[in-house]
C-alpha cells in the first residue's frame, strides 16, 4: 500500500534494499491485541505452556506476522524501484504497513505490477508454509480441509500454521478491489488501461473501496446472525476500525482524483496577480495607494537598481491596523526573495504544484523566461481553485 509522503514517526529498524523501515508506536496496540486474541488458541495447542508461556508465544507470533507484513511492503518497493520510482520509507503501524512511493508509475501496467507484488508475496509465503506443514507435520494422507481448520500440536508447527493461514488471509484481503487496498490499485490500473485515463480509474476504484468498507462490517455481521451467534465485541471493534480505514482511504483517493481533474486549469500565468515594484523604505499606506492606482494585487520589494529582493506578505499587510500603516515600511512586511520563491510564469498543472511544494510559501514571484517580472502568485489563489473538493 502506498500513501502520500509524510514525516517519519517511530523507531527506525534498518534499510533493507536501501529503504528506511520505521515501526510506529501504534504497532504496540496491535501487538497487544494480537497477543490477547491469540493467547487462548496457543494455550489450547500448547497445554503445557500455561498463561505466561502461551502469551509469550502469541507475542512472538505478532512479531513474526509483522515481519511478513514487512516482506509484503518490500515486494511493492522492490518492484517500484525496478521501474525507477523513488521509495522514501516503509512504516509498520497499527493496521499493517505503508510504502511511501514518491510518485506514481507512468503506465497502467506498471501500476498493476507494483500493486500485485505485495499480495503475491503474501500468498507465496502462505503456500510455502502450507507445504512445509503438509510435509513435516502431517502423518498419513494430507486432508487439505483439515489442515485449514485445525492447527497442529507443538510450538513450531502451530506457529507455522498460524503464519501461513494469516498470510493467506492478508493476501486475499489485499486483493479486494477497492482503494486503498492493493486490489483497488489493480482495479484502478485496469480501468486506466481500458479508459486510457488514470483519473477515471481512481474514481472507480475509490467508489468500490467505499463499498468494500461497508461489506467488511456487514458481511461478518450477517454471517454471525445467520449462524445464530452473537459477534464478539473485540472482533466487531476491529472490523469497524478496519472498515473505517478503508472508507477514509477511499475518500482520500476520491479527493485526490477531483483535485487532479482540475489540474489542467491550473496555470501560473492565469492566476498571477499584477504587482508593482516598491523600495523597502516606502510606507505601507503609500505602497497600498500605488497598488490601488495601478490595479495591482501585490507588491514586490526592489533595491535601488530595480532588482527584486522580496515579496510583501498579504497576511502581514491585512494584520497591520489602518492607523499604523503610514508608520510601517513595506520592507518590514516582506519575505526575502530566495531563488526557490521565483517561479516561471509558464508553469502549470502538476509541475506548478511540485514547484510550490518544494518551498511552501504564501507568495511567489513569477518571471518570464528572460527574467522579466510578470507578477505574483498567491498560494491562497491556488487553494481557492480546489475549494470544495
pLDDT top residue among 5 and 341: 341
- Sign, CA dihedral 333-339-343-344, equals positive
Are 346 and 303 contained in the same domain?
Answer: yes
Are 144 and 203 contained in the same domain?
Answer: no
pLDDT at 152 over 90: no
Q: Does 249 map to a domain?
A: yes
Rounded-to-integer distance, Cα 47 and Cα 44, Å: 6
* Domains held by the chain: number: 3
Q: Which residues contact 332 (CB under 8 A, 6 or more apart)?
A: none
Q: Does 297 map to a domain?
A: yes
CATH code of residue 281:
3.10.580.10
Which grid cell sits at 131?
507445504
Q: Among 263, 295, 318, which residue terminates a domain?
A: 263
Are 292 and 207 contained in the same domain?
Answer: no
Are 378 and 290 contained in the same domain?
Answer: yes
State the Cα torsion 14-19-24-27 to the nearest 10°: -80
Q: What are phi and psi of 112, to 5 degrees?
A: -60, -45
Number of Cβ within 10 Å of residue 146's Cβ equals: 11
Sorting pLDDT into bands at 50, 70 and 90, what band is 261? confident
- Tell me, what's the pLDDT at 350? 85
pLDDT top residue among 238 and 118: 118
Q: Does 183 map to a domain?
A: no
Are 168 and 43 contained in the same domain?
Answer: yes
Q: Does 341 map to a domain?
A: yes
Which grid cell sits at 197?
485515463
Q: pLDDT, tens digit, for every residue of 55-89?
A: 999 999 999 999 999 999 999 999 999 999 999 99
pLDDT at 246 over 90: yes
Mean pLDDT confidence for 358-363: 94
26 is in which domain, residue-wise? 1-175
Task: Give the lowest-confidence range in 133-137, 139-143, 264-268, 314-318.
Answer: 139-143
pLDDT at 5 over 50: no
Q: Is 363 a catalytic residue?
A: no
Cα distances from 180 to residues 9, 43, 264, in angstroms, run: 21, 36, 25
Are 13 and 153 contained in the same domain?
Answer: yes
Q: What are phi and psi of 337, to 5 degrees?
A: -85, 95
- Tell me, what's the pLDDT at 74? 97
Are 144 and 245 contained in the same domain?
Answer: no
pLDDT top residue among 139 and 293: 293
pLDDT at 3 over 60: no
Q: Does 182 map to a domain?
A: no
Which grid cell sits at 39?
493467547
The predicted model scores a pTM of: 0.77
Q: Does 180 map to a domain?
A: no
- Tell me, what's the pLDDT at 141? 64
Q: Are 330 and 308 in contact (CB under 8 A)?
A: no
Among 333, 331, 335, 334, residue whose Cα is nearest residue 281: 331
Are 122 and 219 contained in the same domain?
Answer: no
- Tell me, what's the pLDDT at 254? 93
Helix or strand or coil: residue 144?
A: helix
pLDDT top residue among 133 and 309: 309
Sorting pLDDT into bands at 50, 70 and 90, what band is 140? low
Q: Does 181 map to a domain?
A: no
Q: What are phi and psi of 218, to 5 degrees?
A: -70, -45
Rounded-to-integer distance, Cα 210 and Cα 80, Å: 26
Rounded-to-integer distance, Cα 1 and Cα 274, Å: 44
- Tell me, what's the pLDDT at 133? 83
Q: pLDDT, tens digit, for every residue of 200-240?
A: 999 999 999 999 999 999 998 888 888 888 777 777 888 89
Q: Among 263, 291, 317, which residue terminates a domain?
A: 263
The pLDDT mean for the chain works out to 90
- Tell me, what's the pLDDT at 324? 96
pLDDT top residue among 168 and 230: 168
Are 204 and 304 contained in the same domain?
Answer: no
pLDDT at 4 over 50: no
Residue 304 annotated as binding? no
Are 169 and 215 contained in the same domain?
Answer: no
Q: Does 87 map to a domain?
A: yes
Are 141 and 21 contained in the same domain?
Answer: yes
Mean pLDDT confidence for 171-199: 95
Are 312 and 241 contained in the same domain?
Answer: no
Amino acid at each position: 500500500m502506498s500513501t502520500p509522503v509524510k514525516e517519519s514517526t517511530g523507531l527506525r529498524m534498518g534499510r533493507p534494499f536501501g529503504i528506511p523501515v520505521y515501526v510506529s508506536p501504534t504497532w504496540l496496540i496491535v501487538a497487544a491485541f494480537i497477543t490477547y486474541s491469540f493467547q487462548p488458541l496457543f494455550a489450547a495447542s500448547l497445554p503445557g505452556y500455561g498463561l505466561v508461556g502461551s502469551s509469550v508465544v502469541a507475542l512472538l507470533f505478532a512479531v513474526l506476522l509483522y515481519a511478513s507484513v514487512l516482506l509484503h511492503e518490500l515486494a511493492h518497493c522492490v518492484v517500484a524501484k525496478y521501474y525507477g520510482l523513488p521509495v522514501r520509507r516503509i512504516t509498520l503501524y497499527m493496521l499493517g504497513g505503508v510504502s511511501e512511493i514518491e510518485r506514481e508509475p507512468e503506465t497502467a501496467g506498471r501500476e498493476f505490477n507494483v500493486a500485485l507484488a505485495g499480495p503475491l508475496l503474501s500468498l507465496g509465503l502462505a503456500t510455502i508454509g502450507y507445504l512445509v506443514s503438509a510435509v513435516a507435520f502431517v502423518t498419513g494422507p494430507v486432508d487439505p480441509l483439515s489442515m485449514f481448520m485445525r492447527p497442529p500440536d507443538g510450538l513450531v508447527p502451530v506457529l507455522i500454521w498460524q503464519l501461513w493461514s494469516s498470510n493467506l488471509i492478508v493476501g486475499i484481503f489485499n486483493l479486494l478491489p477497492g482503494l486503498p487496498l492493493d486490489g483497488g490499485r489493480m482495479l484502478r490500473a485496469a480501468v486506466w488501461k481500458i479508459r486510457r485515463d488514470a483519473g477515471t480509474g481512481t474514481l472507480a476504484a475509490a467508489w468500490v473501496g467505499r463499498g468494500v468498507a461497508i461489506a467488511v462490517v456487514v458481511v461478518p455481521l450477517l454471517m454471525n446472525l445467520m449462524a445464530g451467534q452473537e459477534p464478539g465485541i473485540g472482533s466487531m471493534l476491529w472490523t469497524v476500525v478496519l472498515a473505517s480505514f478503508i472508507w477514509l482511504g477511499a475518500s482520500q483517493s476520491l479527493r485526490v482524483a477531483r483535485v487532479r481533474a482540475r489540474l489542467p486549469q491550473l496555470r501560473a500565468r492565469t492566476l498571477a496577480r499584477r504587482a508593482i515594484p516598491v523600495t523597502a523604505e516606502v510606507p505601507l499606506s503609500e505602497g497600498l495607494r500605488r497598488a490601488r492606482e495601478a490595479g495591482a494585487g501585490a507588491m514586490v520589494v526592489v533595491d535601488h537598481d530595480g532588482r527584486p529582493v522580496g515579496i510583501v506578505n498579504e497576511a502581514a499587510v491585512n494584520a497591520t491596523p489602518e492607523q499604523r500603516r503610514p508608520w510601517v515600511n513595506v520592507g518590514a512586511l516582506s519575505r526575502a526573495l530566495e531563488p526557490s520563491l521565483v517561479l516561471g510564469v509558464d508553469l502549470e498543472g502538476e509541475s506548478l504544484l511540485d514547484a510550490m511544494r518544494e518551498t511552501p510559501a504564501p507568495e511567489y514571484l513569477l518571471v518570464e523566461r528572460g527574467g522579466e517580472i510578470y507578477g505574483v502568485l498567491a498560494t491562497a489563489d491556488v487553494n481557492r481553485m480546489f475549494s470544495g473538493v
